[in-house]
């Protein structure tokens, strides 16, 4: 249930924020929000992260669809269990779907968040993908720690 809740909330928040930006800002417009920390800057990215692969964005929609299908496959097999993996996969799928919608409908992704001075420009789907990736890494680290503790316990018992 956590997976679906996070996925739906991410897609809804991402699409709503992008609609607000497209409706209320001019392309290229910059609006300072939190001096030195956050700026809204309306940009349309037809490529991938860091504006790489400009013009090839539609191919990333295919990659996103494949990724989402893989997550559903592994969820169905029961390999993505537990609150941490539910949340991680929810953020990852929500972000992939949010940006995928833009790529299918507009052939580009609306970006508008710039953190810090000279930082890259992102959207809420990108932030969700980053959050999902971090949660997944935390899951891997906790798994390693747990495995290490079990091995130590087994060595002490022998």
**Per-residue pLDDT of the chain in tens (158 residues, 90 and over written 9):** 999 999 999 999 999 999 999 999 999 898 888 877 888 999 998 766 655 556 666 777 888 899 999 999 999 998 888 999 999 999 999 999 999 999 999 989 999 999 887 678 999 999 999 999 999 999 999 989 888 888 777 777 76
First and final C-alpha spacing in the chain: 42
Please confirm, yes or no, whether 14 is among the known catalytic residues: no
Q: Which of 111, 124, 131, 132 does the annotation list as catalytic?
A: 111
The predicted structure's pLDDT at residue 32: 86
Q: Which of 14, 86, 102, 126 does the annotation list as catalytic?
A: 126
Please confirm, yes or no, whether 126 is among the known catalytic residues: yes
The predicted structure's pLDDT at residue 52: 53
3-state helix, strand, coil in the chain (%, to 5): 65, 15, 20
The predicted structure's pLDDT at residue 156: 79
Q: What is the pTM of this model?
A: 0.85
Domain limits, the chain: 2-157
Question: At CA 71, angle to CA 3 and CA 54, rounded to 5?
Answer: 105
């Amino acid at each position: 249930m956590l997976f679906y809740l996070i996925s739906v909330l991410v897609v809804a928040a991402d699409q709503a924020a992008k609609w607000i930006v497209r409706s209320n800002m001019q392309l290229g417009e910059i609006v300072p929000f939190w001096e030195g920390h956050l700026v809204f800057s309306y940009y349309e990215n037809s490529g991938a992260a860091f504006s790489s692969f400009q013009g090839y964005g539609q191919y990333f929609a295919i990659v996103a669809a494949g990724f989402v299908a893989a997550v559903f496959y592994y969820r169905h097999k029961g390999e993505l269990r537990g609150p941490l993996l539910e949340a991680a996969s929810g953020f990852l799928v929500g972000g992939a779907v949010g940006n995928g919608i833009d790529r299918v409908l507009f052939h580009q992704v609306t970006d508008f968040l710039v953190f810090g001075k000279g930082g890259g420009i992102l959207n809420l789907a990108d932030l969700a993908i980053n959050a999902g990736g971090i949660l997944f890494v935390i899951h891997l680290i906790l798994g390693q720690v747990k495995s290490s503790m079990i091995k130590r316990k087994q060595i002490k018992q022998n």
